[in-house]
Structure formats: C-alpha cells, structure tokens
Structure 1
Amino acid sequence: MDTAARTGTPGPDDPARARAFLTAFARRKAARTADFPGGFAALDDAHALSYGDNHLLVDGPTDPELLPGRAEELLGHLPHRAVQVIGEETGRACAEPLKRAGYTHAEVLVMVHTGPVPERAGAREVELPALRGPVTESWRHFLPGAGEEVVRTLVERRAARRRGAPDVRFLASHDEWGEVVSWGDLYLDPATGTAQIEDLVTAAPHLGRGHGGAVLDTALRLAAEAGCPTRFLTAFADDWPRHWYERRGFVAVDTVHCFERA
C-alpha cells in the first residue's frame, strides 16, 4: 500500500488535487465572485467578452434545475452565458436543464501527467509583450469572423491570470529568427504540490516542428523542480490534442462539462 492510501492524502493523480486547483485558480483570478449553493460566479468586467473570465463554476452539489436561472441572474449583464461543471456525475445531471435552456455542451478532460519528467527542451520564460503579436494572429486564425474588440479581449485577458496562482509563468519556443512560434501558461502552487499547464498553442505554420513539445516538456520540468508532483492540463474530449497528450504520458482523471449560450 502506498503512502497516499495509508494516510488518506490524495496522490498526484487523484482528481481531487486538480479539482481544488481549478476552483482556487478561478476564484483568485476573478475580479469579483458571487457564491451560490454548489458554486460561484467568476466575473471580470475588464474582460466582459471573455467566456473564460465570466462564467458560473459548479464544484459541489447543486440543484441542476436552478442553474439556468442562476446564470440569468448572475450573468445577465453580459452578452453570453457560460457554465462550467466539474465532475462527471454532476455535469451529466446539469446537462439536460441547460440544454433545454439553449446551451451547447462540450466535455473537457482533466489530464494528469504520469510519465517520467522530461528534460527542459529549449523553451523559455517570456513577458506578456512578447506574446501579444503571435497570440493576436493565432486568434484571428481560429476565429476569422471575430471583431477586433473580441480579439483584443482574448489577448489582453492573459494578464489577469497572474492573480490565479502563487507563481504564474508564460513560456515560449522561438524559431531560428527569434520569433515566438509556440507558447503556453504554467501555473504553480508549490504549497499544494500542484501545477497546471494551460493554453498551449503553436502557430499554424510551425506545427509539426517540435515547438509545442518543447514548451510542454519545459513546463513539466519546471513544475517538477518547483516541487509540484501533480502536473495536469485540460483538453477537449473530442479534439486531437488529447491523443498527443496521451502519447506524452497524460491520463484523463476527471471531466469539466462546459455549457455556453451566445
């Protein structure tokens, strides 16, 4: 029997660790919050067009039938509605009431790294100004119909992530001319031994050249060096990156159900 089993302490791949981190990160990052039974609204008026910065997060027992009304009450000042429900059972219970209210539904996997820690692979920490140009172009590629204000919000919201964890780093891989071509966030909480890797993106012209792997491997190594045995990320259940992560030693341990309505 391992130490975690003997003491009751969650092991590195226990979903409770990642759940606690996701909840804490959302609370700390938010400019303001509003609690309700089973969760809270995370809000940031400075980035009102961002679903990721203005949504309901359900992380405990709640009444699924009341969720559509809670969203109207707490997100009524916004042009969108977004609800995130952590956990398979609760997410499934909330799906039907939200779908009846016109929400779309997507599943995001919480994936914990269980393989060996790789060596650093050439990516390095950068400041936000270095990411502004490539991130802007990336969003224009992914959302070609989005207006300039939407793109600006999606780019500038990254600064708020510094509030989300005790140690937040932005990593990037560069091409031979020194241009940023792949990037990602690393959120560290050494006190709980938990780290999240998030928003890992490679510019389309540079896919398949090892830049994304360099950012991921560097993030994993830095997280291990910071004393974080639980290292996780999130990936859409029906998209190809999840399989790329699986090949790099990640396994799915939990699900976040994401509901949205424009």
Structure 2
Amino acid sequence: MSTEPNEPELRRIRAFLSAFTRRQSERTVDFPGGFAALNDTYALSHGDNHVLVDGSPDPEALPALVDAAMAHLAHRTVYIPDERVAAACAGPLVRAGYTRQTVVVMSHRGPVPELGGAREVGLPDLRGPVTDSWRRLLPDAPDAVLHDLTERRTARLRGADDVRFLASHDEFGQVASWADLYLDPAAGIAQIEDLVTGEPHLGQGHAGVVLDTALRTAAAAGCPTVFLLALADDWPRRWYERRGFVALGEVHCFERL
C-alpha cells in the first residue's frame, strides 16, 4: 500500500498513537527506535504490555531489545506503525518466532452524521457488558485475564486530555454497544477505539449509533481528523468503509506467545 499522498496525516496519527501509549503506561522502557509500554496492574493484557517501534531500530537487534524490555512477561507483542520500518524488521522478527498481523489505519472522510443517540458513561456502567463480551470471545480464559481485559480501561483515562466512553442503550436501559473516544483538540485529532456490540444486541443498529455519536462529538470538540484501527482481513473494515472511512496506512503487529 502506498501511503505517500497521506503521509502528513499518517505522521500526525502515528505521533498521537505514540503519545497516547506513553501517557497511559505505568512505566516505559526506552531503547533505540522504540519503547516498551508496560502496565503492571494489567500484566495479563497484551494490549497494555507491548513494544511500540516509533523510530528506526536496527532490525537485527530488535528481537533481543524486545526480549530485554519484556523479560518479566511470557508474551511478546510489537507494534510497528511505519510500513517501511515494518518491512525491514519483519524478517528478524519472524525468524525469532513471531507471527504477523496487519491492522489498517482508517480516517473518516464522510460528512459528520446529523444524528447521534449514544451518551457518555462511566467505567462501572461498562464493567458487566465488557466482561460478558470477553467471556464469549475467550471462553477458556481464566477470570484473572478477563479482569485485566475489562479493568484496563482505567489506564486509558491517562492517555489523552479528554477520554470519553460512549454507549448506546436498549429499550430497557441496558448497555448494548460501546466505544472509547480519545480527543486531542489542540492537535485536531481524535481516535475511536474498541467499538463493540454485546451479542444479545447484534444487528439492531447500536454500533452505528455509537459511531455517529463519536464522530459528532469529535467534530464539536474541534477534531477534524478522526481515525480508528481495523484488522485488515476482518469484516468490520468493510463496515467502516461504508460509513465513510478510508484506509490511510497500516500498523503491523508481531506477536510471540
């Protein structure tokens, strides 16, 4: 994928991702070309204990650098937002036993929706629905893993100056769909993250309500750039495309369990 026409916007998004990752971490371990973002409180969450390569490391040295930074953990997860750096590092990481997955960076290009309908909620409102969602997705996961995957949203409150949790409710007032919204009005950029619908409410339009509300909220906050991340080969990517998002570039995830 060629990213040259969107390179300025991609650079801004990469900078946002790097800054958010550092801010939400309890501690970081820097090395040439990147850093490990660590949250010991949620040690079982791979998404909260990983390496972000935001520079240009020595590709051959990278596996050893990751091992050193994450020596206390059983897993290894490495995110590389720059496609050229990912291409250079792929060989050494794969030879070190990593598998590779591609995530697409998508930016909203459509009009701001006229309607919303979701409302801001707190972490206690999401605890039950999020835990149930993870339990269905990971039926064999221990309770400790489900706990960390649910409670890790607390760390996200540190990631940006304005972090909101949005939810659409059913006719009985139960949370049906939810998402995070991270706002940086000074930079004019916002990220929508973890848009999920509970299984009992699938196909009822709740995800669209949450997404439209997030887009309206970002526009009202002065954030013309609104982006999200979607797996390259999964169906939500096509759903986002139908709702006005276009692919700008890729983030490459390397993992060794």
TM-score, normalisation: structure 2: 0.96
| 8 Å CA contact 1:13, 1:253 repeated in 2 | no
| 8 Å CA contact 2:231, 2:237 repeated in 1 | yes
1:13 to 1:210, Cα distance in 2 relative to 1, 3 A: farther
Which residue is equivalent to 1:36?
Answer: 31
Q: 1:215, 1:62 → 2: CA distance?
A: 38
Q: Structure 2 unaligned runs (5+)? A: none
Whether 2:255 is the aligned partner of 1:260: answer yes
| 8 Å CA contact 1:39, 1:57 repeated in 2 | yes
Which residue is equivalent to 2:20?
Answer: 25
Q: 1:12, 1:123 → 2: CA distance?
A: 33
User: After TM superposition, what 4+ stretches of structure 1 lie above 3 angstroms from structure 2?
Assistant: 10-13
2:126 aligns with one of 126, 131, 134? 131
Whether 2:80 is the aligned partner of 1:85: answer yes
* 1:109-148 Cα deviation digits (max 9, x unpaired): 1100011011242110000000000000000011111110
Q: 1:14, 1:66 → 2: CA distance?
A: 30
Q: Secondary structure at the match of 1:150?
A: helix
Whether 2:217 is the aligned partner of 1:222: answer yes
| 8 Å CA contact 2:192, 2:228 repeated in 1 | yes
Which residue is equivalent to 1:57?
Answer: 52
1:88 to 1:147, Cα distance in 2 relative to 1, 3 A: same
1:46, distance to aligned residue in structure 2 (A)? 0.5
* Percent identity (aligned): 66
Which residue is equivalent to 1:46?
Answer: 41
Which residue is equivalent to 1:15?
Answer: 10
Q: Which amino acid aligns with 2:46?
A: Y
1:163 aligns with one of 158, 162, 179? 158
Whether 2:244 is the aligned partner of 1:232: answer no
| 8 Å CA contact 2:6, 2:248 repeated in 1 | no
1:105 aligns with one of 100, 104, 107? 100
* 1:37-92 Cα deviation digits (max 9, x unpaired): 11111111111111111111001111111111011101010121110001211112
TM-score, normalisation: structure 1: 0.94
Q: 1:158, 1:247 → 2: CA distance?
A: 28
Which residue is equivalent to 2:180?
Answer: 185
Q: 2:222, 2:7 → 1: CA distance?
A: 12
1:11, distance to aligned residue in structure 2 (A)? 8.1
1:101, distance to aligned residue in structure 2 (A)? 1.0
| 8 Å CA contact 1:190, 1:227 repeated in 2 | yes
Q: Which amino acid aligns with 2:146?
A: V
* 1:181-202 Cα deviation digits (max 9, x unpaired): 1000000000100100000000
- Give the number of aligned pairs: 253
Q: Secondary structure at the match of 1:25?
A: helix
| 8 Å CA contact 1:13, 1:230 repeated in 2 | no
